[in-house]
Amino acid sequence: MAKNGLERLIEVKRKDRRLVIGLMSGTSADGVSAVLVELKGCGVNTRYKILAYKTYPYPSEVREKIFSLFDPKTSTVDEICFMNFILGEIFAEAALKIAKEANIDIEDIDLIGSHGQTIYHQPNPRSIAGYESRATLQIGEPSVIAERTGRITVADFRPRDVAAGGQGAPIVAYVDYILFRHEEKNRAVQNIGGIANVTYIPRKADINDIIAFDTGPGNMVIDAIVYLISKGEMTYDKDGRIAAKGTISEELLEWLMGHPFIKKRPPKTTGREEFGLDFARKVYNRGLKLGLRDEDIVATVTAFTAKSIAYSYEKFLPERVDEMILGGGGCFNKTLVKMLKEYLGYVKILFHEDFGIPAQAKEPLLMAILANEVICGNPNNAPSATGARRNVVMGKILL
């Protein structure tokens, strides 16, 4: 007799070893990053072994549609509803493909953790009729993932933190603590995706010592400027080659560093709402008025990412960082990494690969571990990072 969903959930919870798929798409909306990982234990006792990882790019038509959803001027309720289910199909397909990549039958997978695709994030509270709340929305319907794969799926992590008074971000802090804490060194786990975010883990830390926040734009403004100067032919600065040919404009950089978000104290999060295409157009037009070449503007916004990270370390972290652990798409931008080394000369820069985690696997690995914590019944947010009133279990379980 086949087990029902609840019986399967209890069985998975009792296992010492679980095969878990993590799925993630970030603010750059390049595609679905997937990882298949063997997890043992929970919490600080978590041990992992990555069995397969791959990024499955979105079809160009899908990516264009996602970007139209980012913009309130072009987004509609019917398109959000429709794309929620289409992305559910795409995420489910990625889960099936990564299992096949590892030569593991999908029926042997214990659990899938899916972040979905963020299309709107509102970290500052708004009110209506006397009710006040922050808000966040990720699409990629997890019911579709559970239905297509037949696997227990955990998804929609951020809303529970928002319900507890937090900003719903950054949600990586708890897992960064599990993976990278150190007895003798102050570490900063620096992700540079569309948005750049840091998790500061002081030596001998417990979870309540963690500080995590968005430092500002990561690749988002760089990508948008490249898109504008290439008239849509290019979507990013490969290896930082364009920036390497340019000269940083100190005048434009000073203006960029004056953005209110950069000076704002944590906890804080941001997104495309502040640093999206509209912002990039303003930057580009300002650069043209200053007589800058296209490559100078790219160099300057690249410096903006690096300098805003350095500023955050110097102004908002209680002690000097010993080691930065760098990840996200920005770690492939050689010019950006060089600038980080110049602005933060006292910090030793390491990469996720130095810890056995391929850069492409880091974010989906986070989702796999967050899902695993849900099954274990462990709180998996970090109130010191998100501003939540208490520790909560983030994630909804679909049987």
Domains and CATH numbers, the chain: 5-172+358-398 (3.30.420.40), 180-355 (3.30.420.40)
Does pLDDT of 273 surpass 90?
Answer: no
Q: Which residues contact 74 (CB under 8 A, 6 or more apart)?
A: 68
Cβ atoms < 10 Å from Cβ of 287: 23
Amino acid at 357: I
Does pLDDT of 229 surpass 90?
Answer: yes
Cβ atoms < 10 Å from Cβ of 205: 17
- Per the listing, tokens 């495309």 go with 272
Does pLDDT of 144 surpass 70?
Answer: yes
Does pLDDT of 206 surpass 80?
Answer: yes
Average pLDDT over the chain, rounded to whole?
96
CB-facing half-sphere around the CA of 333: CA atoms within 13 A: 33
Counting Cβ atoms within 10 Å, is residue 286 exposed (0-12), middle (13-18) or buried (19+)? middle
Between these two residues, 73 and 222, which has the higher pLDDT value? 222
Question: What integer is the mean pLDDT of 150-159?
Answer: 98
Determine the Cα–Cα distance for residues 198 and 226; give it in Å rounded to an integer: 25
140 φ/ψ sector (left φ>0, alpha ψ -120 to 50, else beta): left
Determine the Cα–Cα distance for residues 340 and 80; give it in Å rounded to an integer: 37
Interstrand relation of 31-40 and 17-25 (parallel, antiparallel or unpaired): antiparallel
Residues 313-341: tens digit of each pLDDT: 999 999 999 999 999 999 999 999 999 99
CA 374, 379, 384, 388 dihedral sign is: positive
